A and B are shown apart, each in its own frame.
Chain A
Amino acid sequence: KQEVTQIPAALSVPEGENLVLNCSFTDSAIYNLQWFRQDPGKGLTSLLLIQSSQREQTSGRLNASLDKSSGRSTLYIAASQPGDSATYLCAVSRGNNRLAFGKGNQVVVIP
């Protein structure tokens, strides 16, 4: 069974600092990895999708890397802003687009 772990579970950073969020997974036979953002009481917003053949994806201030062999992904958010405060979820897909999620990184950016 695929297990996804996200570390740290929660973190606070001052505005302007770079954020580094880590995700690890136990089974490297994945099709893709997605990072999502979730605001309190809301649904999930897709941030970045990395296919298994790719090493990284970038969108604006966000950059996600994927190392399948070591079962790791890292989400970087440059120059954090208070509006980046949210929970970030990592999910991996292995067959039939079935997603296995971690518990999330809860981020607070302090103005």
Chain B
Amino acid sequence: EAEVAQSPRYKITEKSQAVAFWCDPISGHATLYWYRQILGQGPELLVQFQDESVVDDSQLPKDRFSAERLKGVDSTLKIQPAELGDSAMYLCASSPDGEAGEAFFGQGTRLTVV
């Protein structure tokens, strides 16, 4: 069964260091999302790609976060420098074309900033 792959599963980093997360969506899914989930809350969208183009990054803290999907397939989310408040679960999801497509999520990366 096709899955969204994410790595690493867990990451501990020191404040002010750089950290990167990787996501490989389900093959053929044009839309890729990065969400952030703080403990006890629902996920919130950080950035949405359609193929290699950014569709929505209005909630992405661009002074420290960046995201890319160079060939329209896999994607990388980077934080530099990391802050204590960035500790959260980072979830990647993908969906097929169309307004009413089902979203499929990966297992997430649990980030702890110390």
Q: Report which A residues bind B (CB closer than 8 A).
A: 4, 31-32, 34, 36, 41-46, 49, 51-52, 89, 91, 93, 95-99, 101-104
- Say yes or no: A98 contacts B45, CB within 8 Å: yes
Interface residues of B in 57-114 (CB under 8 A from A): 89, 91, 93, 95, 98-108, 110
What is the total number of residues of chain B having a CB less than 8 Å from a CB of chain A?
30
Q: Footprint of A on B, CB under 8 Å?
A: 4, 6, 31, 33, 35, 40-45, 48, 55-56, 89, 91, 93, 95, 98-108, 110
The distance from the CB of B54 to the nearest CB of chain A, in whole angstroms, is 12
In contact, B91 and A43 (Cβ under 8 angstroms): yes
Q: Which of A89, A95, A97, A101 contacts B101 (CB 8 A)?
A: A97
Given contacts A97-B95, A101-B44, contact A46 B105 (CB under 8 A): yes
A98 to chain B, nearest CB (A): 6
Q: Beyond A51-B100, A98-B56: 5 further Cβ-contacts under 8 Å?
A: A41-B89, A46-B105, A97-B31, A98-B48, A104-B42
A-B contact pairs, 10 of them (CB 8 A): A4-B42, A32-B102, A41-B89, A43-B4, A43-B91, A44-B91, A89-B42, A96-B99, A98-B56, A99-B103
A36 to chain B, nearest CB (A): 7
